[in-house]
Amino acid sequence: MKILVTGGTGYIGSHTVVELQQQGFEVVIVDNLSNSQAWIVDAIAQITGIKPHFEQFDLADRALTADFFRRHNDLKGVIHFAAYKAVGESVEKPLMYYRNNLVSLMNILESMAANGVPNLVFSSSCTVYGQPDELPVSEKAPIKKAESPYGNTKQISEEIIQDTLHADKRLNAIALRYFNPIGAHDSALIGELPLGVPNNLVPYITQTAIGLRPHLNVFGSDYNTPDGTPIRDYIHVVDLAQAHVVAVKRMIEGRMKASFEVFNLGTGTGNGVLEVINSFERVSGVKLNYKIVGRRAGDVEKVWADPSWSNQELGWKAKRSLDEMTASAWKWEQAYRARAKETNQ
Ligand code: UDP
């Protein structure tokens, strides 16, 4: 059974390709490598023993996307990860974000309809909830006005998908709203690979610990939370990847309750920044150099998931602990830097 994974050489995409292949799916990756590297296809093959078919092009190109779908008209579904994802950059370059994230989605939906590919899993985010009025946040919580163009692309994308499904009854979609994915595959052959200075907490921690950054800035300790830092629901990327396989099977096996479904992907537990640092120090034995500085603009105070609907409906549950997340992130950082040194990457 053939599945297209867009953005399949990216962080979450690559972990999902591995899980799909290990569950017997044939995977085709499309990625323009704007934020990833071609060797990740080989790393996936090293883990699973199967090299996924890979095509490098930009899904924002309508003609190339249409041509791809004509050549792969036996696809059973699409998992669409390919998108820009840096909140700060989206504030600086909003049109770049709207064009890339929305045009690629429209091209994919158009080609799915034209070629009878019925099933889409869409990579969404808990950012659509903003600062929720009630915690934990369930899928029924209202969508808040987006804090950034990036967040807005996720909200608009969900609307584009729903309108398209309304007009074309052959199509189905599941939007998966991710909380904070961290960690890496046990093999340490794939993991998070930010270009330049990381924006996210865990790659910043591991790059500081390995000596690439002098210290970590902790953005604010005056929030109304137990340790004063913002609270997030960190989820192991492999748990997250496995949820995509479950969602694809649900669609293919005709078990959806409506043509559009939404699921939260989180653990249901929130942790402050200092708790993540403590976990990292405990599992790595490395003392982290960090400084508490002012708040980062746009950060919400606290958000964690109510995953009960996903647990019940998907029969999926995040299993891995915070210590397993930070340990795997550290193992990956060390392995990647050692390999890069050997090969002068
Ligand atoms: N954070 C931090 N220092 C950093 C990066 C992040 O203190 O260098 C904090 C950030 O303020 C937030 C948490 O770590 O409370 C998670 O941030 P991240 O960017 O990883 O994910 P977000 O929840 O913003 O999508």
Integer Cα distance of 206 and 35 in angstroms = 19
Residue 264 has phi, psi (to 5 degrees) of: -80, 135
Q: What is the pLDDT of residues 297-331, one digit of tens each?
A: 889 999 999 999 999 999 999 999 999 999 999 99
* Dist. CA 178 → ligand 1 center (Å): 15
- Has 97 been annotated as catalytic? no
Ligand 1 binding pocket includes 232 (Cβ within 6 Å): yes
How sure is the predictor about 78, in pLDDT bands with cuts at 50, 70 and 90? Answer: very high
Residue 345 predicted with pLDDT over 80: no
Task: Give the residue ranges of DSSP H helices in the chain.
Answer: 11-22, 39-48, 62-71, 87-92, 94-98, 104-115, 149-167, 201-209, 237-252, 273-284, 308-314, 322-343
Q: What is the pLDDT of residues 92-144, one digit of tens each?
A: 999 999 999 999 999 999 999 999 999 999 999 999 999 999 999 999 999 99
Q: What is the pLDDT of residues 151-166, one digit of tens each?
A: 999 999 999 999 999 9
Q: What is the pLDDT of residues 164-213, one digit of tens each?
A: 999 999 999 999 999 999 999 999 999 999 989 999 999 999 999 999 99
Catalytic option among 129, 150, 223, 336: 150
Integer Cα distance of 105 and 141 in angstroms = 24
The closest-lying atom of ligand 1 relative to the alpha carbon of residue 202 is 20
Q: What is the pLDDT of residues 253-298, one digit of tens each?
A: 999 999 999 999 999 999 999 999 999 999 999 999 999 999 998 8
* Dist. CA 166 → ligand 1 center (Å): 37
Ligand 1 binding pocket includes 22 (Cβ within 6 Å): no
Integer Cα distance of 318 and 335 in angstroms = 25
Kindly report the number of other CB atoms within 10 A of residue 22's CB atom: 14
Q: Which residue has the tokens 């092009």?
A: 57
The closest-lying atom of ligand 1 relative to the alpha carbon of residue 232 is 23
DSSP states of 237-257? HHHHHHHHHHHHHHHHTT--S
Q: What is the dihedral angle through the alpha carbons of 280, 283, 284, 286, rounded to the nearest 10 degrees?
A: 60
Residue 80 predicted with pLDDT over 70: yes
Span 29-45, average pLDDT: 98
Ligand 1 binding pocket includes 82 (Cβ within 6 Å): no
Least confident range from 46-55, 117-126, 262-271, 336-345: namely: 336-345
Q: Which token pair is 24?
A: 């017997």
Integer Cα distance of 31 and 34 in angstroms = 8
Judged on CB neighbours under 10 Å (0-12, 13-18, 19+), 113 is: middle
How sure is the predictor about 344, in pLDDT bands with cuts at 50, 70 and 90? Answer: low
DSSP states of 153-190? HHHHHHHHHHHHHHH-TT-EEEEEEE-EEE---TTSSS
How sure is the predictor about 343, in pLDDT bands with cuts at 50, 70 and 90? Answer: confident
How sure is the predictor about 335, in pLDDT bands with cuts at 50, 70 and 90? Answer: very high
* Stated pTM of the model: 0.98
C-alpha Rg value of the chain to the nearest Å:
19
Rounded to whole angstroms, what are the CA distances from 268 to 71, 217, 221? 42, 26, 23
